[in-house]
Structure 1
Amino acid sequence: MKAIIEELAEKAERQLSDQVWIPDPADRAIAEKAATGLYALVGAPEVQRALSDVDRLARLREALAAVAIALAHVHGRLAWFLGAAATALTPILNWRALPLEGGPTFGAVEPTAQEYEDAEEAVRRLQATLAAVVVA
């Protein structure tokens, strides 16, 4: 997940710096709102590690929702970027933080500590790239 977001971010930042992608004011506004939301949801690594797994997972799901909401309001390059980012983050939808209680989990799996950190770092990287869209 982290590697996919990193690759997307590098491509987006390259397009921004080469002026292949010139965001319009509406794209900048959506990117700013999404970046602000992601920043509020996924804090510094030490803050995230101090949270319970339930809270960490909830914040990651909220981050994915913020990306999806932003995606619903844009077209063109920002939509393509956000769509690819949302796809990269979708494994968190199959994660569970609650213990098994003998019933079906619908395929949900318990992520490792490393998977949480990887996903959180991916969200941080995505947030940084969206912030770059704002100032491009």
Structure 2
Amino acid sequence: MDMRAGIEGLAEEAEQQVRGHTWELAPADRVVASKAAADLHTAVGPPHVQEALPAVERLERLREALAVLAIALASVHGRLAWFLGAATTVLAPVLHWRALPVEGGSAFGTTAATPQQYADAEGAIHRLQAALTRITTT
């Protein structure tokens, strides 16, 4: 499964739980989710902007998005933690990517990501940001 599809499934489940009142976000969770959505929006720009960046900057922004999720995850419990944890797991392959060539020696198991992989991860971040925005305004 690609990252965008994985996040899509999680987002649909979260949005359905909020709409169906299975998941009622506490006020503190709304603040964390809203901040995470804003920070994800800042980290990963629109597709035309991202595609124009060098690979090293695209990877930097994707790692920043993962940091946003880690910080949010550290301060919540229950369903929001489960949602953010699952989203982080879907996006975890980004941590194994490198944008620089290997010049002798070990690359610590990293692989060079393709432009399609970058676009997939960036699309997943956009969908996650949209889901966080929806669940905090429902």
- Relative to the length of structure 2, the TM-score reads 0.97
Q: Select 1:74's aligned residue among 73, 76, 81.
A: 76
1:102 Cα deviation after fit = 1.1
Partner of 2:59: 57
1:25 shift after superposition: 0.5
The answer for the alignment partner of 1:109 in structure 2 is 111
1:81-96, aligned counterparts within 5 Å? Answer: 81-96=83-98
Identity of aligned residues (%): 59
- How many angstroms does 1:76 deviate by? 0.6
Partner Cα separation in structure 2 for residue 111 and residue 2 of structure 1: 15
What is the aligned partner in structure 2 of residue 7 from structure 1? 9
CA shift, 1:134, in A, is: 1.4
Consecutive unaligned residues in structure 2, runs of 5 or more: none
Distance 2:85 2:31 in 1: 17
Secondary structure at the aligned position of 2:45 is classed as coil
CA RMSD, Structure 1 to Structure 2 (Å): 0.6
Q: Which residue of structure 2 lines up, in the alignment, with residue 27 of structure 1? A: 29
Equivalent-residue separation in structure 2 for 1:105 and 1:133 (angstroms): 39
TM-score (norm 1): 0.98
Shift of 1:100: 1.3
Measured against aligned partners, the alpha-carbon deviations of 1:31-68 in whole angstroms (never above 9, x if no partner) come to 01100000001111000001110000000001001001
Q: Distance in 2 between matches of 1:47 and 1:75?
A: 34
Stretches of structure 1 that go unaligned for 5 or more consecutive residues are none
Secondary structure, aligned partner of 1:62: helix
Q: 2:126 aligns with which of 114, 124, 127?
A: 124
In structure 2, the residue matched to 1:45 is 47
